[in-house]
Structure 1
Amino acid sequence: MKASSQRETWPDIAKGMGITLVVYGHVARGLFNAGIPLDPVWHQRIDGFIYAFHMPLFFWVSGYLYFFSIQKKGTLAVLQDKLRTVAYLYVVWSLVHGLIEVAMSHYTNGHLALRDVLALWQPRAHFWFLYVLFLVFAIATLVYRFKSGWVTAGALLVSILWYQNPGGLEIGYTLVLVGPWLVYFAAGVAVAQFKPVVSRQAGWVLPVLLLALALCSSWTLLWASVGVVAVLSLSRWLDAHGHGPTRAALIYLGQLSLPIYLLHVLSGSGIRIVLQKFVGVQNVEVHLIAGMAMALLVPILVHRLSVRYHWNFLWAWPAFRHG
């Protein structure tokens, strides 16, 4: 299948929605754990709703975009790109974030030891996503080098079975972490490869697939899939019919979703510490608004500065020029 010459923007809209939910979820959890008076019932309901599908969404979009990347570059070249970005960022930002947490442990909700920061083989905090995502890319390099629809369909089926029993294979702790997430990546690849069929038959294909997931797998996977499909459908609609600042803002947030993901916890928890510990603010609305604003704006500012001053090392392994 030939990839479209014009880059699709609806995946950026989906990522923009997803990263906004990620930021809200972490800000709200930080407030709850810090004793800011959130309504526990509503917090648990919203938290459960968000966490049912927001990270599956990112794995799905990653799989969808991965298919077109390997069509252009090949699997090995894409894996090299992910070494320079995903793996590199996992190591660098896990260390940076962890060292700051150790230094600020007196003011934060947790008490982190230096040995925990250095144990990079055991992902911690929100950096588990980069750790698992790179493992998924490594597995995909082995699987999708065979550009066959049967291989893609088989990979999706195997990933569903793996989801059902992620610890059933004697594959060790590291790959067990992949089990709950590979299925969404494989689904994204499958939709990208069979895009014409899915587009023409979406009216019955998607409901049948969702029902099949419920019958042969688990309700958790079903609800996650329903959430992902809902966000993707809304993203497609906004891309086709939206012409206002909402669409533009979501595209922008989606394009910067990685810097936001890397920095949002530090900036969001930082403003919470300032407001709670030093200013004495306990108002939950103030904390939510300030936390969301800082968690989104600080990473955007850092990214803009990195573009202006060529701090490319913040987001990828620096490419050194010879001669």
Structure 2
Amino acid sequence: MTDTGKDSLASDFAKSFGIVLVVLGHVLRGLQKAGILPAGNILNEVDSAIYLFHMPLFFYLSGLFFLITFDKIGYFGMLRRSTLTILAPLAIWSYLQTGLQYAFPGGANRQISLYDFLTAPFPPQQQFWFLGVLFLVMTVVGIPAAAGRRKWLFRAMCAASLAFAIAAHDQIKTALIETSYTFLAAQFAVNLPFFLLGICVGSVSPRGLHSPASLWFAGFAAAIATASLLPPTAMVRPLLAICAVLAIHGCCLAWAECITRTGWTRFSRIAAFIGMNSMIIYLAHVIFAAGFRSTLLQFGIDDATAHILLGTVVGVAAPLALLPAGTRLQNRFPRLARAMLPVRLNRT
């Protein structure tokens, strides 16, 4: 199992694709809640397609290099590192985002009370659920890793967790809308198989997925098209999500391989840069996108297309404006920077 430059680059490309979809998905849902985007619009199909695979993709990518890190720092080292790089940003940005929503209710689509603000990270709310569930997944999966893992064990765990997610599909759908805690439990059940799948693929080197990009793209299109023809409650959707996630990774591996032969392009550099900084975009994009939507509405601009395009661009680009502050903080207080402003300027 090796962590090659091409494998890491492919992961950054996949993160870039995924984080743009995260921002787009939240922009679309924000516009729907604000009444700017009508129900039944064709973009609802886009929303359904995005939510089929975009967060499973990030769990999968997190699993790819999990064992490499685990071998270096061990179980408790992993917990200490995850507390700094996952739980600390979750808490800091939960308070920041919820505090802004409480102070400026006109820019939010949900009513925030003082209690909501005080308890913002407990349990994780809004987009921050991902960080809470990821920490829990890593904590649980780290136990068999610390106990002398074997490849077959993780493969069995992946198959078992996927079978459970499919068999308990109806119960998981119900749990997602009951309480904040059942929502987190449901997300754990849905996304655990993808983290384990990432471990399984990473343990044999992601380059084992090497195939022409055209084949992976065709597989991705087929998975999305099939999902669009099925009802949202179809039990086969997790399998289609797996196909989509593997196809995205395969395309990105082919892209990284192409770069080693033909050299970098400007688009490739931008994509890699966005992927490298997907964490800060994830933490901050709602603040910027919601604030931008509110500003457009104050100027009487309610065109849905303008909101979608500009809101997505702002949601991706505006958090990157924090890079100068983040790099300065890294130079003086690197641990604090990892908790508050996790940014990267270089691939090394």
After TM superposition, the score normalised by the length of structure 1 is 0.84
1:133 aligns with 134
The 8 Å contact of residues 6 and 257 in structure 2, kept in 1 or not, is answered as no
Summarize deviations over 1:201-244 as a string: whole Å, max 9, x none. 999xxx9xx9xxx9xx9311112112112211211121122432
Deviates more, 1:40-49 or 1:114-123: 114-123
CA distance in 2, matches of 1:129, 1:181: 10
With over 3 angstroms needed to count, the CA separation of the structure-2 counterparts of 1:37 and 1:182, relative to structure 1, is closer
Summarize deviations over 1:71-90 as a string: whole Å, max 9, x none. 33323322211011101111
Summarize deviations over 1:233-288 as a string: whole Å, max 9, x none. 21112112243222211111110000000000000110100110x21111222222
Q: How big is the shift at 1:309?
A: 4.5
AA aligned opposite 1:254: G
With over 3 angstroms needed to count, the CA separation of the structure-2 counterparts of 1:6 and 1:283, relative to structure 1, is closer
CA distance in 2, matches of 1:233, 1:99: 40
CA distance in 2, matches of 1:66, 1:118: 33
With over 3 angstroms needed to count, the CA separation of the structure-2 counterparts of 1:157 and 1:265, relative to structure 1, is same
Summarize deviations over 1:121-154 as a string: whole Å, max 9, x none. 3221100000101001111221212231122222
Aligned length: 304
1:234 aligns with 251
AA aligned opposite 2:272: I
The 8 Å contact of residues 211 and 250 in structure 2, kept in 1 or not, is answered as no
The 8 Å contact of residues 288 and 315 in structure 2, kept in 1 or not, is answered as yes
Summarize deviations over 1:172-224 as a string: whole Å, max 9, x none. 84645411111100000011113389458999xxx9xx9xxx9xx93111121
With over 3 angstroms needed to count, the CA separation of the structure-2 counterparts of 1:11 and 1:271, relative to structure 1, is same
2:153 aligns with 151
SS where residue 109 of structure 1 aligns? coil
Asked if residue 35 in structure 1 is aligned to residue 39 in structure 2, the reply is no
1:77 aligns with 77
With over 3 angstroms needed to count, the CA separation of the structure-2 counterparts of 1:106 and 1:149, relative to structure 1, is same
CA distance in 2, matches of 1:197, 1:266: 37
Summarize deviations over 1:287-319 as a string: whole Å, max 9, x none. 22321222112210112322135475353279x
Q: Which runs of 5+ in 1 are unaligned?
A: 319-323
1:268 aligns with 289
The 8 Å contact of residues 19 and 261 in structure 1, kept in 2 or not, is answered as yes
CA distance in 1, matches of 2:241, 2:206: 24
CA distance in 1, matches of 2:265, 2:340: 36
Identity of aligned residues (%): 26
2:98 aligns with 98
AA aligned opposite 2:71: Q
From 243, 266, 274, the counterpart of 1:253: 274
AA aligned opposite 2:339: A
With over 3 angstroms needed to count, the CA separation of the structure-2 counterparts of 1:49 and 1:176, relative to structure 1, is closer
1:316 aligns with 339
Q: How big is the shift at 1:161?
A: 3.4
SS where residue 36 of structure 2 aligns? coil
2:230 aligns with none
SS where residue 70 of structure 2 aligns? helix
AA aligned opposite 2:308: L
With over 3 angstroms needed to count, the CA separation of the structure-2 counterparts of 1:127 and 1:116, relative to structure 1, is same
Deviates more, 1:145-154 or 1:303-312: 303-312
AA aligned opposite 1:83: T
With over 3 angstroms needed to count, the CA separation of the structure-2 counterparts of 1:151 and 1:262, relative to structure 1, is same
SS where residue 268 of structure 2 aligns? helix
The 8 Å contact of residues 137 and 188 in structure 2, kept in 1 or not, is answered as yes
For the aligned residue pairs, the C-alpha RMSD in angstroms reads 2.9
How is 1:152-171 mapped onto 2 (pairs within 5 angstroms)?
A: 152-164=154-166, 165=168
The 8 Å contact of residues 289 and 311 in structure 2, kept in 1 or not, is answered as yes
The 8 Å contact of residues 239 and 247 in structure 1, kept in 2 or not, is answered as no
How is 1:151-230 mapped onto 2 (pairs within 5 angstroms)?
A: 151-164=153-166, 165=168, 173=182, 175-195=185-205, 198-199=208-209, 218-230=235-247
CA distance in 1, matches of 2:43, 2:209: 37
Asked if residue 86 in structure 1 is aligned to residue 109 in structure 2, the reply is no
The 8 Å contact of residues 101 and 107 in structure 2, kept in 1 or not, is answered as no
Deviates more, 1:303-312 or 1:96-105: 303-312
Deviates more, 1:265-274 or 1:158-167: 158-167
